[in-house]
């Protein structure tokens, strides 16, 4: 199996005017007459990157990527107005209509998997298949693990988050940081954004940032907005609605060593979706770019695509 395809450039880029002044960036890559597949990026707040295009066989797929509200190349960057999961679902449907796509495969990892699940229960007739990675259900238990469970292994990064906070603020860390990053004081805002992003980088085992860019500041703002509001996502309700779906070809690819999104959520989702397959990679973590993970995702997309038109 291959881990990535060669880099490609979009054959089309554009913007989608959305509600309340949001302008959503999108791009299409690969074969204009290929099997349509929608890529939903993680985060929340991260945006799409050029390497995301390399999951797609340019001869087989018509890949659609877009930066969610307030993220990446969408504007206004970091805007929280009318920025909720239902708003993103509305954008997905508006984009599908704009592009003249009847049904598409949806490919999402981490927060992108969360958004995929939120979308499919509202518009199941528009989803021809799903590839999910590193499933996140935005539950209180998952958020507590990310801050407190994982925080025990990331003592220095967690200490940086806790610095200067009262015990009450430390007990409501996400809400505290969501408030601080929205402060009218630029110094408070930037310190909160940088500490939060450094904690995320430590969790991902990537180099810790020392400075902020407009994109990274916007990412932190959007991410904390979503996490402080439970990602506008009811896991119990979503799982119940998934069980009621007709069969949609679905493969869930999960790293057994994923410490950002541990495997329990992936197992719950795979058990809830009729006919879903769970691929558990014993030596992989959260990163989609890791060679074995990327290979498994490309293989999963190929196998879901084989059923396109029959589902």
Q: How far is CA 244 from CA 90, 155, 247, in A?
A: 22, 43, 9
Q: How far is CA 80 from CA 21, 225, 234, in A?
A: 11, 7, 20
* Of 263, 264, 271, the residue nearest 243 (C-alpha): 271
- Total length of the chain: 311
Residue with tokens 């909160």: 192
Give CA–CA dist 34/236, Å, rounded: 35
pTM, whole model, 2 decimals?
0.96
Q: pLDDT at residue 108 above 60?
A: yes
- The pLDDT of residue 1 is 58
Q: Which residues are annotated as catalytic?
A: 110, 258, 286
Q: pLDDT at residue 311 above 60?
A: no
Residue 111, both tokens? 């927060």
- The pLDDT of residue 308 is 87
Q: pLDDT at residue 3 above 80?
A: no
C-beta contacts of 171-176 below 8 A and 24+ residues apart: 173/147, 174/143, 174/147, 174/224, 174/227, 174/228, 175/228
- The pLDDT of residue 310 is 59
Structural domains of the chain in order of their starting residue, each with its CATH number: 12-138+234-305 (3.40.50.1820), 140-231 (no CATH)
- The pLDDT of residue 2 is 67
- The pLDDT of residue 309 is 66
pLDDT in tens, 111-121: 999 999 999 99
From 179-193, 217-231, 261-275, 297-311, the region with the lowest mean pLDDT = 297-311
pLDDT in tens, 183-233: 999 999 999 999 999 999 999 999 999 999 999 999 999 999 999 999 999
Average pLDDT over residues 56-70: 97
């Amino acid at each position: 199996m291959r881990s990535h395809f060669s880099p490609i450039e979009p054959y089309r880029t554009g913007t989608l005017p959305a509600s309340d002044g949001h302008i959503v960036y999108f791009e299409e890559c690969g074969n204009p007459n290929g099997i349509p597949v929608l890529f939903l990026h993680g985060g929340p707040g991260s945006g799409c990157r050029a390497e995301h295009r390399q999951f797609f066989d340019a001869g087989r797929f018509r890949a659609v990527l877009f930066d969610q509200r307030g993220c990446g190349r969408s504007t206004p960057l970091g805007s929280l107005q009318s920025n909720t999961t239902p708003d993103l679902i509305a954008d997905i449907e508006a984009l599908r209509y704009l592009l003249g796509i009847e049904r598409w495969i949806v490919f999402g990892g981490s927060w992108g998997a969360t958004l995929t699940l939120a979308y499919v229960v509202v518009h199941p007739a528009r989803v021809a298949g799903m590839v999910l990675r590193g499933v996140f259900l935005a539950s209180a238990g998952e958020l507590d693990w990310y801050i407190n469970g994982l925080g025990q292994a990331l003592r220095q990064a967690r200490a940086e988050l806790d610095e200067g906070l009262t015990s009450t603020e430390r007990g409501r860390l996400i809400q505290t940081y969501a408030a601080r990053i929205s402060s009218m004081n630029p110094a408070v805002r930037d310190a909160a954004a940088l500490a939060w992003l450094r904690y995320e980088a430590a969790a991902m085992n990537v180099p810790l940032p020392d400075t902020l860019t407009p994109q990274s500041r916007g990412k932190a703002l959007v991410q904390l907005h979503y996490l402080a509001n439970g990602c506008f996502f009811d896991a119990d309700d979503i799982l119940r609605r998934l069980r009621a779906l007709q069969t949609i070809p679905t493969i869930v690819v999960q790293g057994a060593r994923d410490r950002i999104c541990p495997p329990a959520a992936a197992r719950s989702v795979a058990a809830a979706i009729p006919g879903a397959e769970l691929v558990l990679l014993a030596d992989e973590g959260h990163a989609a770019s890791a060679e074995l993970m990327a290979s498994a995702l490309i293989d999963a997309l190929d196998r879901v695509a084989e059923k396109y038109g029959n589902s």
